[in-house]
Structure 1
Amino acid sequence: MLTVVTGAHGFLGRHIVSRLAADGHQVLAVDRKAFVGQVVEGVQYHLSDLEDPATLIPPDCEPVGRFALVHLAWDLRSRETSYKVQSEQVTTLAGLLDTWTGKGLSYVIAPGSAQEYGAKGGVLAEGVQPEEPLSPYGWAKRATFEMASSWSRRSGVGLLWLRPFIIYGPGQAGSMLVPYAVRQAMHG
């Protein structure tokens, strides 16, 4: 079965594409940026900004039967300041789901965020209401989860929504928590 990974050029995407390929999966890596120097043997690469959800899969790679979508594409540039930019991220996944439902899409995996809970502390679990106000990013991730969950129940297509709290490792942007903290500790 084909696994389509959006945001394949990003921090998580690069690692997931490599792992899927190493495990023998057929992978289509999709991103809006060129894959310079990051080509993994056996992976097909495709440039798409996903504005037109029909361009998710190129004509020469139409899946035979079912395919899974690992949706990692997300514009993080204004995650704390722009509800408009973040709302467009919700719309992007909605467009993909609308376009590909009934055309082989058999499973969706997407990451949420701890920011979906706002400033809530203590033990967090599914069903816990967020502490308002949410950042634009937290609001958009929460809205995307609600939309994708509703779509999954209506379509019967499986959804796995992950909420990683801290992710770090090779290739992570220096502005994120762990690289920033290490840099600050090293420079006093």
Structure 2
Amino acid sequence: MAQALVVTGAGGYVGRHVVSAAADLGYRVVALVRQARNGEIDPRAEIVEADVLDPSFDLTAILPVDEVAAVAHLAWQDGFVHNASSHMANLSAHYRFLTTLADLGVRRVAALGTMHEVGYWEGAITAEVPTNPVTLYGIAKDALRRSTLLSIGDRIEYVWLRAYYILGDDRRNSSIFAKLLDAADGGQTTFPFTTGKSLYDFIDVAELGRQIAVAATAPGVTGVLNTGSGVPESLADRVERFILENGLPISLEYGAFPDRPYDSPGIWADAAAIRALMAASPFAKEN
């Protein structure tokens, strides 16, 4: 039997795409979800209902550790609500889950981080960029990264996958792109907007899923790894392109909202490492 990639949060916005990508790579995918819903997850996966943040959760009750190629920990509550109290409330449970995997002898673990760990920064983000998060989401992710790298980073192969501005599959997220679709559904022809001048790193969620599946299972890849496009694009240009691609009868009201003072004029991933991994992966043959 093929080695297993265990995916937590497998029914989530990102998780569903990681499951499909891992199955495409030939892994036996064990998809952990709190509650299974019909048709949500690729049928090639083995779906297991479990709360990995519960202290009683035991991975070995699902499959032997020696059958696990890697665990990709994607589960996270309220990822689109950056100052939700749940981020800090669940932090210790995430720490316990990840450190317990190392205690059990899981050889390789990947955890999903976020650009929001960094806070204000201008330019490309490398693994060495200092972090100074300004939201509870960023603070919690940053604390989890720091604590787990310290606790298990020298015991197992542990990679922290830092994600950027995700879009695609937009009916399932809470981004500006989902809000534009809702506005069009509601008959709006204008949409209040900022100046849109800030540059971001946009990545389609399906491509992110492929990057995570490859990076999570790549032997020897450890530490902080950016998962993104590495291409800075203004929010205005990306939103205008989204409107055009989806044929939305909406025009943007530039300047209706002020730009937030803590937003960087330009922040994106240094994507050299993930590009090299993807170029050497089976997915490179598809392009």
Q: TM-score of the superposition, structure 1-length normalised?
A: 0.83
Equivalences for residues 30-69 of structure 1 within 5 A: 30-57=32-59, 59-69=61-71
How much has 1:42 moved relative to structure 2? 3.4
Most deviating of 121-130 and 16-25: 121-130
User: May I ask how many residue pairs the two structures share in their alignment?
Assistant: 185
- SS state of the match for residue 105, structure 1? coil
Q: State how far apart, in whole Å, the 2-side matches of 1:107 and 1:53 are.
A: 21
| Pair 1:72-2:111 in alignment | no
| Pair 1:119-2:120 in alignment | yes
- Greater fraction of residues in strand: 2
1:57-100: CA deviation from partner (whole Å, max 9, x where unpaired): 37253343544110000011673333x41123322221113322
Question: Do the aligned partners of residues 178 and 93 (structure 1) sit closer, same or farther apart at CA in structure 2, a change above 3 Å counting?
Answer: same
Counterpart of 1:97 in structure 2 is: 98
- SS state of the match for residue 165, structure 2? coil
Counterpart of 1:130 in structure 2 is: 131
| Pair 1:146-2:151 in alignment | no
Q: State how far apart, in whole Å, the 1-side matches of 2:174 and 2:115 are.
A: 17
1:105-143: CA deviation from partner (whole Å, max 9, x where unpaired): 1111122111111122223222322346x1000101111
Q: State how far apart, in whole Å, the 2-side matches of 1:168 and 1:69 are.
A: 24
The answer to whether the 8 Å contact 1:113/1:164 transfers is yes
How much has 1:165 moved relative to structure 2? 1.3
Q: State how far apart, in whole Å, the 1-side matches of 2:104 and 2:83 are.
A: 36
- SS state of the match for residue 8, structure 1? coil
Q: What is the root-mean-square deviation in Å for CA atoms of aligned residues?
A: 2.5
Most deviating of 4-13 and 156-165: 156-165
Pick the structure with greater CA Rg. Answer: 2
Q: State how far apart, in whole Å, the 2-side matches of 1:148 and 1:69 are.
A: 14
State the identity as a percent. 25
Letter in 2 for 1:163: R
Counterpart of 2:25 in structure 1 is: 23
Structure 2: gaps of 5 or more residues? 184-190, 192-242, 252-287
Counterpart of 2:89 in structure 1 is: 88
Q: State how far apart, in whole Å, the 2-side matches of 1:113 and 1:172 are.
A: 21
Q: TM-score of the superposition, structure 2-length normalised?
A: 0.57
